[in-house]
Amino acid sequence: MKKIKRFSGLITPLSYLIDLSFVIFFMHHYITLTLYKTFHFNHIAIISFFWVLISVFNGFYQIYRYTSFEKVIRLIFNQLVFFTLSLYAFSGIFTEMEMKPIKILEYALFIFIFVTSAKILTFFSLKKFRSYFGGNYRKTIVIGHCTESTNLEKYFKLNKDAGYLHKHSFNDPSQIILSKIFSYISEHEIDEVYCSLKNVDNSMVKSLIDFCDNNLITIKFIPESTKFYSKKLIFENYDTIPILSLRKVPLKDNINKFFKRLFDIIISLIVIILILSWLTPILALLIKSQSKGPVFFRQIRNGINYKEFYCYKFRSMVVNNDADKTQATRHDVRVTPLGKLLRKSSLDEMPQFINVLFGEMSVVGPRPHMTEENNKYNNTVQKYMLRHVIKPGITGYAQVNGFRGEVENESDIINRVKCDIYYLENWSLLLDVKIMFKTIINSIAGEDKAY
């Protein structure tokens, strides 16, 4: 098969060239002029080497057509942070240059602005090019039929900006005949083959791999992830033994735990000092004026590793014996007039920032349920206990995606658990910030299930 010459292979080298041009340009026209008059070639080479070395370990240029924008932002942030640190290390090595810390930071800021602009412009320009002009696309086929292969077909068809042109799916077992598949691949100049491991045996897999390798075609395999109840299977090697792990939880890493905790402390202190300090006395008077009972409602919830803690809220109901057993429902007669407003705006959850400060909760995480609900769902919903691998949150990925409040049917709790598992497998500070801002927007706009 004659392969079509593509220009996508030039994207990464060009990106390196553009970014290094920024690094060298500002190094020459900023550092040389403001810090050190004799900035030699070896200095340029060392700093350029730092940039390349960091980018390799960071995977800065490993951006593919299926890479999310969130990951691009995360890569940019990591690259610039480590590059800035390397500049300070550079100034420590070449002390005769007398590089001032603030000037190094200004130089790094210039690099950040221009590299970020170039990266984002390239990312979206390629998406528009693929979407509107049909360029830089790859022709695909799918062999076999399963839930994952069906979802993959939908992804190819719905995400035109990813640059895939799906040509055919060999769904019917009677169609999975290697000679016919090989002929189709050759006739239609297919670039990538996706094969469901559910529908092919080992001999067919070997033949497919051999054919694709001999014809310079990319072949990828679709596992039956439903068997593992995870979408982030991790391939590892114990010496020469291949091992497949179910998932990697970023928040089990001590560095990630530190930054998550630091984020929680900063946000909780800001809210407690700037908002709760004056809001609490006002709400206390209003709550007391509408019904007898305490200002705060506290309830035992299960946190990380299923450990019990008292979760605090502004009381939004009249005092009743069912508060720890029965979830709030639409038009619940127990909710006070003020309580309706508090629940609609999610202001009743504000005291939980105290729980966050004490380390019992996070700003973002799976919402903690009543113990009665936990006992019920633990026996009926697959993977439910995974929600307790990390700290519960005031808001979460499930809540901003519409799965909050009352569980009206089984799909509500199943989708909530799916969202929580996605969050614990894909956590990042950027994702936390995104969820937090989306929560604020939803609180202002109002939500149908906020009652």
Q: Which two tokens stand for residue 360?
A: 């019992």
Non-local (6+) Cβ contacts of 261 within 8 A are 359
Q: pLDDT at position 109, please?
A: 86
Separation of alpha carbons 407 and 381, rounded Å: 13
pLDDT, tens digit, for every residue of 52-89? 888 888 888 877 766 778 888 888 888 888 888 888 88
CA 403, distance to chain mean position in Å, is 18
Q: What is the pLDDT of residue 365?
A: 94
Please state, as a whole number, how many other Cβ atoms lie within 10 Å of the Cβ of residue 339: 23
The count of other CB atoms within 10 Å of the CB of residue 222 is 20
Count of Cβ atoms closer than 10 Å to residue 105 Cβ:
12
Residue type, 238: Y
For 303, phi and psi rounded to 5 degrees? -105, -145
Cβ count near 115 (within 10 Å): 22
Q: How far is CA 279 from CA 272, 276, 305, 347, 441, in A?
A: 9, 5, 33, 10, 20
DSSP 21-48: HHHHHHIIIIIHHHT-S---HHHHHHHH
At residue 391, the pLDDT reads 93
CA distances for 386 relative to 366, 389, 417, angstroms: 10, 5, 8
Domain locations along the chain: 8-133, 138-227, 252-445
Tens-place pLDDT, residues 350-365: 999 999 999 999 999 9
Unique residue bearing structure tokens 């240059």: 97
Q: How far is CA 89 from CA 81, 84, 95, 169, 357, in A?
A: 13, 9, 10, 54, 35
pLDDT value of residue 97: 62
How long a stretch of residues is the chain? Answer: 451
Instruction: Report the 10 Å Cβ neighbour count for 150.
Output: 14
- Cα–Cα distances in angstroms (integers) from residue 425 to residues 68, 225, 394, in the given order: 15, 15, 19
What's the confidence (pLDDT) of residue 264? 95
Half-sphere exposure of 163 (CA within 13 A, CB side): 19
pLDDT of residue 33: 44
Which CATH code for domain 138-227?
3.40.50.10700
Beta strands in 16-134 (DSSP E): none
Q: What local confidence, expressed as pLDDT, does residue 166 receive?
A: 86
User: In which residue ranges of the chain is pLDDT below 50?
Assistant: 1-7, 32-37, 228-229, 238
Give the per-residue pLDDT at 7: 47
Angle between helices 69-93 and 101-133 (to 10 degrees): 150
b/e per residue 430-446 (b: at least 16 CB within 10 A): ebbebbbeebeebbeee
